[in-house]
Amino acid sequence: MMARTIVFANRKGGSGKTTTAINCAHGLSKNGKVLFIDMDAQAHASSILAPASAKTHRSISDVLGQNVPIDQAIYTSRLPNISIIPSSRELGSYELAAGVDTESAVILADALSAQFNEYDYIIIDPPPTLGVLMVTSLVAAKEVYIPMPLHFLAMEGLAEMMRVIYRLNAEANPDLRLAGIIPTFYNKRVKTSKKIRQEIEMNFGTPILLPPIRNNIKLAESPAYGQTIFVFAAKSIGAADYRELVKHIADPGQVFSL
């Protein structure tokens, strides 16, 4: 079977996007082989997953900017059953130099086609900006998951993400679809969360909301130790929430209601 290509994306920073991508990758690796692509120049995911040797070798910027074969940039990660194409400092320069157009954005999609039979999941973590790296990630993927806090400022980012998804679906990637919205930093006692949840359900339907990730100090601490939540605090609320989320991503037929 061909790999499921998944992107965790949000054009607003501070949404828990990279934390969600890393922890879901670790959770999904229990079900199959995962290739993680760090498309964010901040390289937070690479600092957790990539081996030390990757710092002096090929990265995603070489694949995109230098036409290096993608298999030369794939490394065995620090976690079992996960491979990674790391980010690098040069990725920021590539984004500044490259124009945002769908023709240049197909580079990653074309390169990944040779890897579809090698993995069960290909997970892409783009930067929180609507530039060429975000567009490239969306053109290469089929499933978009949007992690977002349930507050009104985040709704602006969701609306903008949906406009981009619809445009790319029409122009460059007819297989692209919104697979789920993931509430992050969730607190059910906050009234605003309930109002935003109702607005999302009204516009997208109840099944689009996936299990929430509650506020949890262990989730905030784990990146500082270079670990996923399943390694850092396997019995924490954060680990329990991501296990539930991973179940729904692995089996999209499940219906969840907050």
Q: What percentage of the chain exceeds 90 in pLDDT?
A: 66
Kindly tell me if the per-residue pLDDT of 160 is higher than 50. yes
CA 143 centroid distance within chain = 10
Model confidence pLDDT, tens digit, residues 180-196: 999 999 988 888 888 99
Domains and CATH numbers, the chain: 4-249 (3.40.50.300)
Model confidence pLDDT, tens digit, residues 88-101: 888 888 877 766 66
Model confidence pLDDT, tens digit, residues 16-49: 999 999 999 999 999 999 999 999 999 999 999 9
Chain-wide mean pLDDT for the chain?
90
**Crossing angle, helix 152-171 and helix 132-140, to 10 degrees?**
60
Residue 194: C-alpha distances to residues 14, 107, 201 (Å)? 20, 41, 11
Residues 198-227 have a mean pLDDT of 92
Rounded distance, CA 163 to CA 169, Å? Answer: 10
**Alpha-helix runs per DSSP H in 43-190:** 44-49, 60-66, 90-97, 102-112, 132-140, 152-171
